[in-house]
Structure 1
């Protein structure tokens, strides 16, 4: 692909000679020493590694019993309502299921909107290694090469995670992470295969979605320069529950947007959720032939998806969204968005209320087992129903792509992506609006 075989255009100029990048790169004393950290505009709380609230505790749903006698619709609804109340299920159970599923579809976006340049610096479609980028040094997370603050500083403490119940009036931003966890693996310390910000802005009735490449080279608080996807692992190694918090701090620290909550999801949850809603309908613009699609057991398989209108189950939808061969990265991003929108349309389509009601226990169990979040169940419902009312044209998406990144080789020989600090601010404004840092 021509785009991935050549050095990106419009590379930024080297920093001015008066700007000492080396000093910024290796001096982390302001992060590690509590006394000096207090005077830094990125100052952290006294206990920045405190684990987030526990996973949402949902009441166990009871199976909907089959009727033992023929009843009229009104009598049946009354009996069903009485049984749900007796079993502890919410009175408006159908809407609870829809709300949860909609939130799940938002979460699905974090996984199926796979970072579009994930493999850009590793290899291209014919397996050859790409040429290294220009000789640069990673710059400060605070200043660009011109010495200006990147994207504007956050108001207040830039490492403090403000986890509070959403009031429905102010911006609320969630960090969605797809964990690279396979069925045979156990534990909690997994790298984030996908990292995406979803920000809801009631003032403009809009949603901004930004995908962050996992190889983006940023400063992880208290750990120095790292790939952004390492933050979750580093935090989790400090103690269970520390991963989500450090990941939120890292994104908030480097991109200047307040992160209020997190959600993590694995591949199997995505597949199960799409299957639970009956699959998705997508018009495939170009046939996909992938001879080395990665499987869950670390092998490969051949994926062949013809062009035209198709109905996908969960597994095929994930393959359609994640396949990285026979197309460029921009096309892959478009396919990932196709799946997200198709799933949302499916949920909102006529007749899905009754279908979801019948599938409530299965969907509920799937969400509970495959999703980890600091959101309460009430918050999930509130956010999901609000998201359902946002017009599609008010959903703005973006990717930290080659226009905003520069290939770089670390001292140990690793290929990473250094943010172009002079351009990231404009991307944030385009996706989230001018007041994203407030």
Structure 2
């Protein structure tokens, strides 16, 4: 065969004239990778579930303080509510503590429980919440992990930023006849602090009634946009040591329980005996025989 008649494909020794007619080989992802991804997803799911629903109780002391000198928290606690959250059930309990309850303070002296915050802040600014926590732990025998402290003026602004809070009264309270109402900030503040014609026990009940109404409002998804808008107003008047990673866990428990699933209690008048101190102050002596069983039910301690 002459040079002119040689097949041209011999000039390309790697060329296969049948290659275009052969099936294309596609590499399949290794089965090991898919298995690893599934295992990783399962582990992450378990960790998230443990984070949200682990049987770990969180107790937080809510402190509402009176008017304080500008730029300070130097005031007594007008409101004290001990909240316990147990996500697994879920269980959310709220115990209102009378501000005139006569106890032993962390400094060793006997006084009203609402003075613990004031004396500590007066001695060293910033130590009030810890002193209030210690006062509750020492006298109630309940671990207090965190605190949330707010000023009532900020509370009023927060309610206004939400556009008001709906409440339902089954019986007369704070001058309102039974019925449905939407309270603005000023009205809400007057409602939770009203003591006209009643006493501190009625005031605590009204505070819990309003709190239930607020939580009912905030747990409805349709109102979450209002919460987002009002959140900066809330943060300007709130001081807390609750870590940010704990808020989702507490929020999920709150949503699961719902406002009607919360256990709201007070130290009632049957659990405290009124008396007058040697200085003439009218205070309440706790009856621990009646209080302790309630603490065991709510806090497991």
Aligned partner of 1:263 among 139, 148, 151? 148
RMSD: 2.6
Q: CA separation in 1, counterparts of 2:157 and 2:225? A: 19
- Secondary structure (helix, strand or coil) at the match of 1:351 reads helix
Pair 1:352 & 2:223 matched: yes
Q: CA separation in 1, counterparts of 2:247 and 2:221? A: 23
Change (3 A) 1:429 1:321: same
Match of residue 367 from structure 1: 234
Match of residue 284 from structure 1: 169
Q: CA separation in 2, counterparts of 1:415 and 1:324? A: 15
Q: CA separation in 1, counterparts of 2:122 and 2:206? A: 35
Q: Is the 8 A contact 2:216 2:259 kept in 1?
A: no
Change (3 A) 1:248 1:378: same
Match of residue 135 from structure 1: none
> Mapping of 1:162-181 within 5 angstroms?
168-181=54-67
Equivalent pairs counted in the alignment come to 251
Aligned partner of 1:338 among 209, 217, 222? 209
Pair 1:416 & 2:287 matched: no
Q: Is the 8 A contact 1:174 1:261 kept in 2?
A: yes
Pair 1:235 & 2:120 matched: yes
Q: Is the 8 A contact 1:213 1:400 kept in 2?
A: yes
Q: Which runs of 5+ in 2 are unaligned?
A: 1-50
Pair 1:314 & 2:185 matched: yes
Q: CA separation in 2, counterparts of 1:311 and 1:273? A: 14
- For normalisation by structure 2, the TM-score amounts to 0.74
Q: CA separation in 2, counterparts of 1:328 and 1:407? A: 12
Q: CA separation in 1, counterparts of 2:193 and 2:124? A: 31
Of structures 1 and 2, the one with the larger relative CO (CA 8 A, separation 6+) is 1
Aligned partner of 2:136 among 251, 261, 264? 251
Change (3 A) 1:421 1:347: closer
The structure with more helix, counted as a fraction of residues: 2
> Greater CA radius of gyration, 1 or 2?
2
Q: Which runs of 5+ in 1 are unaligned?
A: 1-164, 290-303
After superposing on structure 2, the runs of 4+ consecutive aligned residues of structure 1 that deviate more than 6 Å are none
Q: CA separation in 2, counterparts of 1:342 and 1:348? A: 10
Higher mean displacement: 324-333 or 307-316: 324-333
Q: CA separation in 2, counterparts of 1:167 and 1:244? A: 28
